[in-house]
Amino acid sequence: MIEWFTWVQLAVAVAAGLLCLVLGLAGRKPSDLTLGSVVVVEVLLIVQVVVAIVAPAVGNVPTGSGLEFWVYLVAAALVPPAAAFWALLEPNRWSTVVLGVAALAVAVMVYRMYQIWTVQGA
């Protein structure tokens, strides 16, 4: 993982999560704004997949379990599409809240991936 990119991912995921939570609790149905914010979170996760593939080849290897890192990354990459599918299938205020919770869950998972990659002993 690249540290600055991790912080960008965290900031975007938290901002998207808070935006969706506030709009959902205000009664707004999913819109281009809320779905778009979750799509941005997913695009950053796809970029993270590419970074995680390339990083070990250039000497940036995880200090923790590679398997655990990849399980987190794959699971995190599945959360936004699942939430977006729900929001499109049942467009109501609570599906907007689900988008927010999904984005915040991704933020937590990205931080945990950062810990696995950089903090844990080998």
Please tell me the pTM assigned to this model: 0.91
* Residue 38 amino acid letter: V
Whole-number average pLDDT of the chain: 94
Taking 70 as the pLDDT cut, the residues of the chain under it are 120-122
Tell me which DSSP letter residue 120 carries: S
Instruction: Tell which residue, 21, 5, 1, has the closest CA to residue 103.
Output: 21
Contact by Cβ (8 Å): 29, 93: yes
| pLDDT tens, position by position, 11-45 | 999 999 999 999 999 999 999 999 999 999 999 99
| Domain spans in the chain, listed from the N-terminal domain onward | 3-118
